[in-house]
Amino acid sequence: MKVKLQGEPEDLIRRCEDCEHCIFEDILSPQQRMIKVLDRKVPDNHAHRITIEQICGRYYDGVCPMKYAAMRAFCDDRTAMQMGVVKNFVWDLGKTYKKKVDFEQAILNWTKVQDLGRNRQESYAQRYEEIWNRGIREVAIGGKNKKKQIFTADHIYEMIMARPHTYDNLLSLLDALITEHKERDAV
């Protein structure tokens, strides 16, 4: 597949003209953004298109070579989704600090172990894992049982950032939903 994007001589995939920001420009290396990666087969364990659409920017439903590169670069949906959740964190940190916050600075804050109000040491990344794991469901797809995440990046972010009391109640509710899912044999 030969693709020429905006006449870039170095054949580096860049964000769409209409997008002000692209999370994939922050998290993909230049090698992962070279046009030639589009010739590669999508690996068996990859970020699925629905996950990529959820974490994408303004024109999430449009055709974009960057999305195709991301499908070939990530190892799984969990990692891709967390990067999308951190994208929301970047925007919130920018509002809090009243200045632009880059992705690397946000990751440092995201993984920083601290008291988030529940009288225990934890990070937003650890909360992400708690929520991610509670959102996984087994579903039958094409006659095979597969795991599927039922939450979007925005849902996960909102849950992670909840106040301590709300967060604890949320975990209890999610555990109850898991139990009910299993009781219904909802595969």
- For 53-108, write each residue's pLDDT tens digit: 888 766 566 778 888 898 888 778 898 899 989 999 999 999 999 999 998 999 99
Please give the backbone phi and psi of residue 62, each rounded to the nearest 5 degrees, phi first. Answer: -90, 165
Q: What is the pLDDT of residue 48?
A: 85
- What kind and span of H or E run contains 138? strand 136-141
Q: Report the alpha-carbon distance of residue 26 to residue 155 in Å, rounded.
A: 22
pLDDT in tens, 130-186: 999 999 998 887 888 888 899 999 999 999 999 999 999 999 999 999 999 888 876
Q: What is the pLDDT of residue 1?
A: 39
Query: What are the residue ranges spanned by the domains of the chain?
Result: 10-100, 112-187
Q: What is the pLDDT of residue 2?
A: 43
CB atoms within 10 A of CB 67: 20
Indicate if the pLDDT at residue 5 is higher than 60. Answer: no
* DSSP letter assigned to residue 20: S
Q: What is the pLDDT of residue 59?
A: 59
Three-state SS string across 34-47, please? EHHHHHCCCCCCCC
- With DSSP H G I counted as helix, E B as strand and the rest as coil, what are the percentages for the chain, rounded to 5? 55, 10, 35
